[in-house]
Copies of this chain bind each other. A is one copy, B any other.
Amino acid sequence: MIGGVGVVTIVDVAKHAGVAPSTVSYVLTGKRPVSAETRLRVRESIRLLGYHPHAGARALASSRTNVLALVLPLREGVHLPVVMRFVTSVVTAAREHDMDVLLVTADQGAAGLRRVAVGARVDGFLVMDVGLDDERIPVLRELGRPAVLLGYPAAVKGLTCVDLDFGAAGARCVDHLAELGHRSIGFLGAPGVVYARNTGFAQRTLAGFSAAVMRRGIASTALPVEQRRDAVHAVVATLLRELPRMTALVVHNEAVLGWVVDCLRAAGRRVPDDVAVVAICPDELAEQLRLTSVELPSEVLGRRAVELLMAKLNGQQPPPLTLLPPNLSSRTGFAASAAG
């Protein structure tokens, strides 16, 4: 407490505890053994003086920043609440590994990645919403920094990717409905633009769905859905026309899910009595609408991604692709109330 609020350095702590600065460092990092007695004394001095290591100095000396970059997508068609939930789970998980999170928005693009990496601002990258032919992947490869991708491109060799197994999710919905006896199942997906830009997860879900209905000889029609109420109305009408005996519907588009149900009811179909709806969406939303669903596990994904990244930072080599198995929750309870 020499200069008032001024910075307490490791030297101050060392003096106060009667040891060398290096010993304090070893107490802090645990990189060399320190006798129990000394460790206790140093800890006490740290507490007493209110010492906090200077992040910049540490980064300079150890070339480790304890910060990871979270690269966010900001394109249209991504569901903001899902992103947000994901972000918070990443921050929480990162803190458990004593890491902070630096936000990089994807509109800064590849240049943003390069800036952050070369400036030694972060130890590694978490890249969200990776498309099938993502421009950021070559940059990431070139930078050679540890990175974990959410979503995955065609060739995952040399990468570390994690995602929900959307193909299995699509199939899981069909299996569930088939077991309930449905023989004619519709599919409503993401907006057309999402399919057009090769986003991977949308295609994979559809592919899983299609393969499953084909395998079981189930009649089906699949359509993309735009995020406008009138568009939803139109597409539901189309579906009911094209697939008149439809008794079940798989929806992979959380933004319009509520409207889809509304439109079905408006068209005189009871949900789930006449049309069983299975959604692929965050649990919370499905819970609210009382729909059977395959969960979009943002929290688990975020946490898993952080853990994979930490593994890489510690020199391990996790598998190039981790797919989380889909988890279907049946919610056949009573139908939703209210408007109709």
A91 interface residue, CB < 8 Å from B? yes
Q: Contact flags (1/0) for A81-107 with B, using CB distance below 8 Å?
A: 101110110011001000011111101
Residue from the list B144, B228, B233 in contact with A5, Cβ < 8 A = B144
With A103-B103, A107-B92, A229-B288: A119-B87 Cβ-Cβ less than 8 Å = no
How long is the Cα–Cα vector from A338 to B91 in the complex, in angstroms? 40
A161 interface residue, CB < 8 Å from B? no
Residues of B within 8 A of A233 (CB): 337-339
Residues of B within 8 A of A53 (CB): 119
Whether B52 pairs with A115 at a CB distance below 8 angstroms is: yes
A206 interface residue, CB < 8 Å from B? no
A80 interface residue, CB < 8 Å from B? yes
- Majority secondary structure of chain A interface residues (helix, strand, loop or mixed): helix
Residues of B within 8 A of A50 (CB): 118
Query: What residue in chain B is nearest A142 (Cβ atoms)?
Result: B5
Interface size on A, residues (CB 8 A): 60
Query: What residue in chain B is nearest A106 (Cβ atoms)?
Result: B88
Whether A72 pairs with B88 at a CB distance below 8 angstroms is: yes
Residues of B within 8 A of A263 (CB): 338-339
Query: What residue in chain B is nearest A290 (Cβ atoms)?
Result: B229
Residues of B within 8 A of A65 (CB): 55-56
How long is the Cα–Cα vector from A228 to B265 in the complex, in angstroms? 19
Whether B84 pairs with A120 at a CB distance below 8 angstroms is: no
Whether B95 pairs with A74 at a CB distance below 8 angstroms is: no
How long is the Cα–Cα vector from A288 to B58 in the complex, in angstroms? 50
A18 interface residue, CB < 8 Å from B? no
Whether A229 pairs with B336 at a CB distance below 8 angstroms is: yes
Whether A339 pairs with B56 at a CB distance below 8 angstroms is: no
Distance (Å) between the CB of A264 and the closest chain B CB? Answer: 9
Whether B84 pairs with A80 at a CB distance below 8 angstroms is: yes
How long is the Cα–Cα vector from A232 to B258 in the complex, in angstroms? 15
How long is the Cα–Cα vector from A263 to B338 in the complex, in angstroms? 7
How long is the Cα–Cα vector from A63 to B215 in the complex, in angstroms? 64
Query: What residue in chain B is nearest A261 (Cβ atoms)?
Result: B339
With A84-B84, A262-B339: A288-B102 Cβ-Cβ less than 8 Å = no
Residues of B within 8 A of A108 (CB): 95
A154 interface residue, CB < 8 Å from B? no
A-B contact pairs, 5 of them (CB 8 A): A56-B60, A72-B88, A100-B102, A101-B102, A102-B103
Chain A residues close to B by CB (< 8 Å):
5, 7, 50, 52-60, 65, 67, 70, 72, 74, 80-81, 83-85, 87-88, 91-92, 95, 100-105, 107-108, 112, 115-116, 118-121, 144, 228-230, 232-233, 258-259, 262-263, 265-266, 288, 336-340
List of 5 A-B pairs having minimum Cβ-Cβ separation, nearest first: A56-B59, A262-B339, A80-B81, A52-B118, A266-B339
